[in-house]
């Protein structure tokens, strides 16, 4: 693929990419964790495609069919070919993952490619692991984070 940058393999240092990050579904105090921010002053030019991956794992009660959103968000500041400064958020949401993202009892590698053509120079990249605080039991009952005593959403190997 022409002009491809892999965030996981090319940009994120291994001491960060190998670390496991975790969140508790519906916790209002921890909606996201910043995983990595590009070095200040570093500019990434002429890429048309951006790739990201992660090993995801969940820990929900087995008898609780769950819905809700979590994943990775990539925040980009960039300039276009005509010099316009722009910002954009790219989401890799659990709804785009293969398998059932609520019963990943072991690590499941997931990957996503983003079309970033039109971004002449990327001036800042920030990656966050997020949860949308909208987790419910399929019956429509909110999943109470206070009833859960440990984190239940995990990502590593970003």
As beta bridge partners, residue 78 has 86, 122
Give the rounded distance of the alpha carbon of 121 from its chain centre: 22
* Residue 50: CATH number of its domain: 2.60.120
For residue 142, the model assigns a pLDDT of 76
In this structure, the chain runs to a length of 158
Mean of all residue pLDDT scores within the chain = 87
Band of the pLDDT at 34, cuts 50, 70, 90? Answer: very high
Residue given tokens 């925040």 in the structure block: 75
DSSP symbol at 147: G
Q: Residue 46 sits in which domain range?
A: 4-156
Q: How far apart are CA 155 and CA 145, in angstroms?
A: 19
- The strand ranges marked E within 59-107 are 66-67, 70-79, 85-93
Q: pLDDT digit string (tens) for 5-29?
A: 777 766 777 777 778 999 998 888 8
Residue 1 has pLDDT above 50, yes or no: no
pLDDT tier for residue 140 given thresholds of 50, 70 and 90: confident
pLDDT tens track for 90-138: 999 999 999 999 888 899 999 999 999 889 999 999 999 999 988 888 7
pLDDT confidence band for 65 (50 / 70 / 90) = low
In whole angstroms, what is the distance from residue 156 CA to residue 153 CA? Answer: 11
Taking 80 as the threshold, does the pLDDT of residue 68 lie above it? yes
Which residues neighbour 51 within 8 Å (Cβ) at sequence distance 6 or greater? 4, 5, 6, 7, 8, 111, 112, 113, 114
Specify the pTM: 0.90
Q: Work out how many domains the chain is built from and give that number.
A: 1
């Amino acid at each position: 693929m022409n002009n491809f940058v892999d965030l996981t393999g090319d940009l994120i240092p291994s001491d960060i990419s190998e670390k496991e990050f975790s969140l508790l579904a519906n916790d209002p105090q921890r909606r996201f964790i910043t995983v990595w921010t590009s070095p200040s002053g570093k500019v990434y030019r002429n890429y048309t495609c951006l790739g990201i991956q992660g090993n995801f794992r969940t820990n929900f009660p087995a008898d609780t069919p769950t819905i809700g959103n979590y994943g990775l968000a990539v925040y980009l500041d960039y300039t276009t070919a005509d010099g316009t400064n722009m910002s954009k958020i790219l989401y890799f949401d659990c709804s785009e993952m293969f398998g059932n993202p609520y019963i990943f009892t072991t690590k499941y590698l997931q990957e996503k490619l983003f079309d970033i053509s039109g971004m002449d120079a990327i001036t800042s990249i920030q990656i966050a692991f997020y949860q949308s605080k909208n987790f419910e039991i399929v019956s429509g009952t909110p999943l109470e984070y206070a009833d859960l005593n440990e984190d239940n959403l995990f990502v590593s190997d970003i």
